[in-house]
């Protein structure tokens, strides 16, 4: 059974993205182990000269490193991913390389109707950067619009069409993880290149 | 042209900050660029609102006061830094100082790309509805290989880069003018001042008749107002309501408070109306300002209020003759604002400055003599003992002539204005 890390893409106390991941954790419990990870509490990324990342980020890096894949659920702030999520990803690319060749599935929930379409595009661009080099599941999007009305009192997705889509995508992700494991010939080189990035002079 | 520069990095060493400081220095005859620090801005969290933190407020106020903004962004992970994004999130959450603001994006990076993707991304972010900035199209200034492009004095080495930057900045100054012209609000004009106080401001006491003689009592009851020995915390001190009254009623000045809704809500009541320089009666407190002025004075009052509300002037001075040769009565209309610069009404101060002038002359051994070169029509009466033949600034209270048409072209010189006293 695959082990996944699910990153809540916000530091907000109330988040329908957290709700979505909690639902996935419960709903797919018989298919995969999903651990939720919070990004709240990380300090602002400031390129420390000693190249050390905070203990919280180190623990996250280790969890991701040991996982078969990562699920990130992002809100959308100002047509893009939240600063808090960008901040976490900066720490997780600073002389550490947990995302190198790591399979990633992106989801997103928003109060409005668009369901974070632009933030997801932004997040793909970030994860594809030379500092992260993640393997994002291609041609797959899960948008949960009107997310305040999307869950019942037990935290289950109400919309059966949406649920079916999520189940299909999750099954695809399981397959994608298996395939991606074979696409790892450049993994050592990728990790080295990430490590060699000169952050000091940016 | 006043611009603020924001470097999108909180790192100690930032080439983007270096670039902004260089622009500020090199082009100081073109723009006045204030490079801001974003180091103290907390990471955005929508469940921990820190919009009112000093760091966010300071940046917001500087942006609001500036004609335009230059943002220099590094590129981390194909995008802008979390620290810059975090600032933008604060500036698009409960406040929107970037709205309509002209923005130029520049970027420096260590690699060849020169922050190309971060710049595109920043455009997209700045144009989102919550931010609503207006980013100058085209004119991408990408400074690549930053490690090698500055000399030992932190100046750009390459002449072509400097001239391109100069050209880009020149275009931006024009862009700023165009966008700000586009943003100019139509001034509704002084005619929009409603002296009947139909509107309301957050302090307006609703459900009490403004015209009533006992408005103060009714409104105090409705608001459960502090009185007597109740303490009031002030900037800066602590007084009881009684103490506040002793204090205000011992001012040798007649003070009147007219709020932003043009309602006359207070005067320091230490004299009977007949003894006042500008007569007020207790029953007038609470009245809309229209109640306190003769109809013919209304347009002039509207003009003065509008000048103060819109910031055309912070204080309007008006000598009001007609109290005899021994007095020189001045009316000062001072705009009041809250900490955010929001208009909060008018403080009208009325005093006879003649005792002050006489005191000064006596104690310095001087006397008033007529200035043969004076080009003013408004002559002081007391020393010359001649009746002013003509004056531009005439009081409304005493003037019983028909006023001329309001001077719309030159509202700073109304022919006739009066305070709340002009109901004679």
CA–CA min distance A46, chain B (Å): 5
How does residue A153 score in pLDDT terms, banded at 50, 70 and 90? very high
Amino acid A202: pLDDT: 57
How does residue A167 score in pLDDT terms, banded at 50, 70 and 90? very high
Among B22-36, B123-137, B370-384, name the one with the lowest average pLDDT. Answer: B370-384
How does residue B403 score in pLDDT terms, banded at 50, 70 and 90? very low
Amino acid B185: pLDDT: 79
How does residue B390 score in pLDDT terms, banded at 50, 70 and 90? very low
Amino acid B405: pLDDT: 39
Preceding omega of B165 cis (within 30 degrees of 0) = no
Residues B190-196 have a mean pLDDT of 93
How does residue B14 score in pLDDT terms, banded at 50, 70 and 90? confident
How does residue B406 score in pLDDT terms, banded at 50, 70 and 90? very low
> In this predicted model, what pLDDT tens digit does every residue of B286-306 receive, in sequence order?
999 999 888 899 999 999 999
Select the residue of A12, A87, A125 nearest B82 (Cβ to Cβ).
Answer: A87
> In this predicted model, what pLDDT tens digit does every residue of B307-319 receive, in sequence order?
999 988 999 999 9
CA distances B203 to A202, B140, B263, B284, B344, Å, are: 51, 49, 11, 18, 10
Q: How far apart are CA B3 and CA B33, in angstroms?
A: 5
Amino acid B385: pLDDT: 40
Domain ranges of chain B: 2-183, 190-417
Return the DSSP state at A44: P
Asked if residue A44 has pLDDT above 50, the reply is yes
Q: Which CATH superfamily is domain B2-183 in?
A: Flavodoxin domain (3.40.50.360)
Amino acid A201: pLDDT: 60
Amino acid B383: pLDDT: 42
Asked if residue B375 has pLDDT above 80, the reply is no
Q: How far apart are CA A84 and CA A52, in angstroms?
A: 19
Asked if residue B88 has pLDDT above 70, the reply is yes
Residues 6+ apart with CB under 8 A from A121: none
Q: How far apart are CA A194 and CA A102, in angstroms?
A: 14
Nearest residue to B143 via CA among A83, A127, A201:
A201
Q: Which residues of A touch B83 (CB under 8 A)?
A: 44-46, 83, 87
Asked if residue A124 has pLDDT above 50, the reply is yes
Please judge whether B43 and A42 are an interchain contact, meaning their C-beta atoms are less than 8 angstroms apart. Answer: yes
Amino acid A154: pLDDT: 95
Asked if residue B337 has pLDDT above 60, the reply is yes
Please judge whether B85 and A83 are an interchain contact, meaning their C-beta atoms are less than 8 angstroms apart. Answer: yes
Nearest residue to B84 via CA among A82, A41, A76, A124:
A82
Taking CA–CA distances from B132, the nearest residue in chain A reads A78
Q: Which CATH superfamily is domain B190-417 in?
A: PAS domain (3.30.450.20)
Among B88-92, B270-274, B369-373, name the one with the lowest average pLDDT. Answer: B369-373
- Which residues are bridge partners to B331 per DSSP? B318, B350
Residues of chain A contacting B, Cβ within 8 Å: 10-14, 40, 42-47, 49, 77-80, 82-84, 86-87, 89-90, 93, 118, 122, 125-126, 128-129, 131-132, 198, 200-202
Amino acid B112: pLDDT: 66
Please judge whether A44 and B109 are an interchain contact, meaning their C-beta atoms are less than 8 angstroms apart. Answer: no
Amino acid A113: pLDDT: 85
Give phi and psi for B264, each to the nearest 5: -80, 105
Select the residue of A13, A40, A125 nearest B79 (Cβ to Cβ).
Answer: A125
Asked if residue B407 has pLDDT above 60, the reply is no
Amino acid B323: pLDDT: 85
Q: C-alpha A161: how far from its chain's center?
A: 23
Q: How far apart are CA A86 and CA A92, in angstroms?
A: 10
The helix or strand, by DSSP H or E, that contains position A161, with its residue range, turns out to be: helix A160-180
Q: How far apart are CA A142 and CA A172, in angstroms?
A: 12
Report yes or no: B41 and B87 within 8 Å, Cβ to Cβ: yes
Helices B15-26/B159-183 angle, 10° precision:
80
Amino acid A96: pLDDT: 95
Residues A96-103 have a mean pLDDT of 96
User: First and final CA of chain B: distance in angstroms?
Assistant: 49
- Tokens 């719309």 locate to B408
Give phi and psi for B180, each to the nearest 5: -70, -30
- The structural domains of chain A, ordered by start, are 2-195 (3.40.50.360)
> In this predicted model, what pLDDT tens digit does every residue of B122-163 receive, in sequence order?
999 999 999 999 999 988 898 888 888 899 999 999 999 999
DSSP codes, B306-353: HHHHTTS-SEEEEE---S-TT--EEEEEEEEE-TT--EEEEEEEEEE-
Q: How far apart are CA B3 and CA B63, in angstroms?
A: 8
């Amino acid at each position: 059974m695959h082990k996944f890390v699910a990153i809540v893409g916000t530091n907000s106390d109330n988040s329908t993205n957290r709700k979505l991941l909690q639902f996935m954790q419960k709903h797919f419990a018989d298919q995969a182990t999903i651990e939720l990870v919070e990004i709240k509490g990380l300090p602002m990324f400031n390129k420390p000269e000693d190249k050390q990342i905070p203990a919280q980020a180190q623990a996250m890096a280790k969890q991701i490193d040991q996982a078969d894949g990562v699920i990130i659920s992002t809100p959308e702030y100002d047509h893009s991913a939240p600063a808090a999520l960008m901040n976490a990803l900066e720490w997780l690319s600073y002389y550490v390389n947990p995302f190198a060749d790591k399979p990633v599935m992106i989801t997103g929930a928003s109060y409005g109707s668009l369901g974070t379409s632009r933030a997801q595009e932004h997040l793909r661009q970030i994860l594809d950067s030379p500092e992260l080099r993640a393997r994002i599941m291609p041609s797959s999007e899960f948008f949960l619009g009107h997310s305040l009305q999307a869950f019942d009192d037990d935290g289950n997705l109400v919309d059966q069409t949406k649920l079916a889509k999520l189940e299909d995508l999750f099954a695809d992700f399981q397959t994608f993880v298996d395939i991606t494991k074979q696409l790892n010939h450049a993994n050592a080189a990728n990790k080295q290149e990430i490590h060699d990035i000169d952050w000091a002079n940016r | 042209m006043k611009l603020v520069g924001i470097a999108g990095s909180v790192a100690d060493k930032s080439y983007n900050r270096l670039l902004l400081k260089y622009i500020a220095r090199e082009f100081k005859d073109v723009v006045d660029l204030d490079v801001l620090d974003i180091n103290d801005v907390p990471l955005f969290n929508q469940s921990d609102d820190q919009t009112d933190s000093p760091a966010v407020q300071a940046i917001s106020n500087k942006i609001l006061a500036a004609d335009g903004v230059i943002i220099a962004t590094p590129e981390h992970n194909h995008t802008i830094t979390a620290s810059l994004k975090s600032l933008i999130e604060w500036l698009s959450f409960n406040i929107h100082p970037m709205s309509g603001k002209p923005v130029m994006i520049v970027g420096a990076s260590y690699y060849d790309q020169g922050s190309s993707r971060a710049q595109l991304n920043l455009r997209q972010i700045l144009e989102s509805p919550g931010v609503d900035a207006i980013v100058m199209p085209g004119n991408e200034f990408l400074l690549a290989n930053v490690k090698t492009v500055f000399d030992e004095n932190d100046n750009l080495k390459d002449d072509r880069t400097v001239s391109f930057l100069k050209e880009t900045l020149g275009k931006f100054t024009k862009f700023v003018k165009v966008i700000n012209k586009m943003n100019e609000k139509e001034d509704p004009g002084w005619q929009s001042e409603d002296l009947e106080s139909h509107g309301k401001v957050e302090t307006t006491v609703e459900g009490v008749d403004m015209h009533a003689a006992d408005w103060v009592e009714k409104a105090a009851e409705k608001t459960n107002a502090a009185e007597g020995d109740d303490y009031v915390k002030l900037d800066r001190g602590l007084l009881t309501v009684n103490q506040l009254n002793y204090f205000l009623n011992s001012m040798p000045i007649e003070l009147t408070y007219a709020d932003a809704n043009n309602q006359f809500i207070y005067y320091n009541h230490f004299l009977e109306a007949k003894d006042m320089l500008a007569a007020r009666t207790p029953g007038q407190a609470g009245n809309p300002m229209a109640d306190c002025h003769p109809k013919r004075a209304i347009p002039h009052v509207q003009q003065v209020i509008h000048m103060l509300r819109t910031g055309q002037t912070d204080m309007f001075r008006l000598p009001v003759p007609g109290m005899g040769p021994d007095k020189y009565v001045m009316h000062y209309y001072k705009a009041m604002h809250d900490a955010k610069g929001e208009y909060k009404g008018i403080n009208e101060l009325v005093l006879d400055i003649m005792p002050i002038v006489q005191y000064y002359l006596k104690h310095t051994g001087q006397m008033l003599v007529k200035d043969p070169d004076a080009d003013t029509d408004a002559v002081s009466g007391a020393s010359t003992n001649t009746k002013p033949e003509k004056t531009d600034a005439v009081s409304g209270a005493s003037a019983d002539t028909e006023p001329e048409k309001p001077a719309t072209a030159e509202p700073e010189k109304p022919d006739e204005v009066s305070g709340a006293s002009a109901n004679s």
